Amino acid sequence: MLVWGLGIEARLLHLQVYRYDDLVDRAARQQSRSLETHPKRGEILDREGRILAYSVDADTVMSVPMEVTDPVATARQLCEVLECNASQRDRIQTRLGEDRLFAYIQRRVSVDAARRIRELDLEGIGLIKESRRFYPNKELAAHLLGYVGTDNHGLNGLESAYDEQVRGRPGRVLVQTDAHNRAFSRVESPPTAGVSLELTIDKFIQHIAERELRATVREHNAAGGSVIVMDPFTGEILALANEPTFNPNAFSASTSESRRNRATQDVYEPGSTFKIVTASAALEERVFEPGQMIDVSPGVIRFGSHRIEDTRNYGELSFADVIVKSSNVGASKIGVALGPERLGRYVTRFGFGQTASRDFAGQSRGIVHPWAQLRDSALASVSIGYNISVTPLQMAAAMSAVANGGQLIEPRLVRAQVSGDQRLEVAPHVIRRVISTETASTLTRMLEDVVSHGTARGAQIEGYTAAGKTGTAEKIINGAYAPKGHNVASFAGFAPSTRPALTVLVVIDDVAQFGGAVAAPTFQRIAEASLRHLGVPPNVGALSPIVMASDQTADQNHDAGARVRPVSTRALAPATPSRGATVTGLMPDLLGLSERSALGVVTQIGLTTRTSGRGFVSKQTPEPGAPVSPGQQVTLQLDRTPTLATRVVR
């Protein structure tokens, strides 16, 4: 008995003193494990607050394999619920039979599947909460939004570029087993949701761009294409579409070709759209004047064995007509006269050979050769958009610089970052001035002629003046030019040309026709629908703006406590006031109207607007009922909470 008692004491001493720490650690590892839980990602919204991407909670099936007594039977019961195939069942069975403390069975299962698994009450099987990313509009803006992997990390697009901000901070969950070896969880620290992104994208314009691009690609049996719509004064991208596209809800079922953002990752030789850079440099450096004549006969120019041709012999053309008729011979002579140093300086100023925006991951810089090494033949090629490669985004930014009066503005996708009540606005970023306002104005008049009677007649928009340039370049395949009939057709332009609201770039890959026949009509359809949607008033054949009710009517309304309302001008004949005469009226009440509705009223009665904030009109200057005259600027303060006001509808 003494020996037996001493043995017991020795064993207890060994377990409780010498092996205490080791055994406690083993027990903790067997009974519990602390896991990191993924936070809920912030939402992604368009410029009007419409949801483009959000996260929902979903149950994930997990296991504690060491607590599973019958892996075969457990795997069979799970697969009856999860509808596994044979290989998936074998994989689950293997996981359940491993000597591990934790294993995922299936991530983010349906609500019904989670309920049925709870009812099974299987040993070593439990459920934990995770968030699942959902894109309600499917393919809409897929290349901009990107997609999220199973570990809640952004893998492409904005989901990747702003992953750190949108992902949030993870929490921790303690997974334990009870006395009956059943797994359960307890939250140690909750995750913190990420910030939401408010984009510059307009969901409606994005839909227009995707619809028209898809129709053009199918009509011409093209390999693909890109469309970019942006505000030339702020750099805000209103739409960016690529074809082919994919569904980010099921991105693994798509190909890498369809997931590639052609507008920022692909490069192409821009062809004649690049002549805006050549012309800008020549005008800015005063090497040529708009009316200066250039001999382009006999329609061909040779640099050794290198030959550049026009579609026909134009004889003599003015500098302006070289751009309007898109003469390759004339543009080549302009480029050679500029020389490599001056032309190269403007290529760099316009942003080529550099990344265009911080909002796009993996974008290309394009291909720009060292200018000091270029001979006349290579310089002539660059002047007409060959021997240089650009991205569609770079080309859209360059055309916007002409549209806004000469400033290169960084294209941007994110308008604001929102976290709770905090809102961090992203301001426009002017990179540099590339040309003077005078040069931009002169070039705009030339580009208007390109649309009105040049190579881009298909880009004409009823009610609006448009300016732009067509481009056609032979496609490069495996480092060599493809046979005739394989072109990259493009058009870059803006409208209305007098005060541009939109810059639109269309690039169609691998077509037999030219840019004027393929890309210009697509520009016309996209620009026209977008201008109508934004409420931009026509600048061709428009009625003279007439403001409101008369002073007498306004006084009567004021006495009755009613609000002054604008009178529609649609049915009125155009007024023809004498020189120096002014037409005055009273300012309508815009309080409580949405931004779009207020802009529609203001533009209808011939006033201009300056807005700040987002949402509904909370303050306006001039005040309701104040005298106003056509062309006067109205300042609107917007707030997300609508102002409650009584309105009289007659």
pLDDT average, residue stretch 372-378 = 87
Q: What is the pLDDT of residues 440-454, one digit of tens each?
A: 999 999 999 999 999
Q: Torsion angle, CA of 260/263/267/273, rounded to 10 degrees?
A: 160
- Given a contact cutoff of 8 angstroms between Cβ atoms, the answer to whether 193 and 168 are in contact is yes
pLDDT value at position 558? 38
pLDDT value at position 99? 74
Q: Find how far residue 649's CA is from the centre of its chain.
A: 39
Rounded to the nearest 10 degrees, the angle between the axes of helix 275-284 and helix 328-338 is 50
Backbone angles phi, psi at 380, to 5 degrees: -65, -40
pLDDT value at position 389? 95
Helix (H, G, I), strand (E, B) or coil at 32: strand
Least confident of 257-266, 365-374, 551-560: 551-560
- Catalytic site residue 272? yes
Helix, strand, coil percent content, the chain, rounded in steps of 5: 35, 25, 40
pTM for the structure as a whole: 0.74
**Element (DSSP H or E) covering residue 498:** none
The per-residue pLDDT of the chain, averaged, comes to 85
pLDDT value at position 178? 61
Least confident of 295-299, 398-402, 619-623: 619-623
pLDDT average, residue stretch 527-556 = 64
Catalytic residue among 63, 131, 196, 272: 272
Calpha distance 598→587 (Å, rounded): 12
% of the chain residues with pLDDT over 90: 53
Give the angle subtended at the CA of 492 by the CAs of 326 and 542, to the nearest 5°. Answer: 100
How many Cα atoms occupy the beta-carbon half-sphere of 296 within 13 Å?
29
Helix (H, G, I), strand (E, B) or coil at 317: strand
Q: What is the pLDDT of residues 37-50, one digit of tens each?
A: 777 889 999 999 99
CA distances from 529 to 218, 456, 625 (A): 20, 18, 33
> Which pLDDT band, with edges at 50, 70 and 90, does 185 fall under?
low
Domains, the chain, with CATH or none: 30-199 (3.90.1310.10), 203-247+260-415+425-534 (3.40.710.10), 551-639 (3.30.10.20)
Calpha distance 597→611 (Å, rounded): 13
Extract the tokens encoding 237.
């991208």
Calpha distance 388→394 (Å, rounded): 12
471 pLDDT above the threshold of 50: yes
- Given a contact cutoff of 8 angstroms between Cβ atoms, the answer to whether 408 and 350 are in contact is yes
pLDDT average, residue stretch 530-552 = 64
213 pLDDT above the threshold of 60: yes
Q: Is the dihedral of CA 438, 441, 447, 452 positive or negative?
A: negative
Calpha distance 352→193 (Å, rounded): 38
Q: What is the pLDDT of residues 415-424, one digit of tens each?
A: 999 988 888 9
Backbone angles phi, psi at 537, to 5 degrees: -70, 145
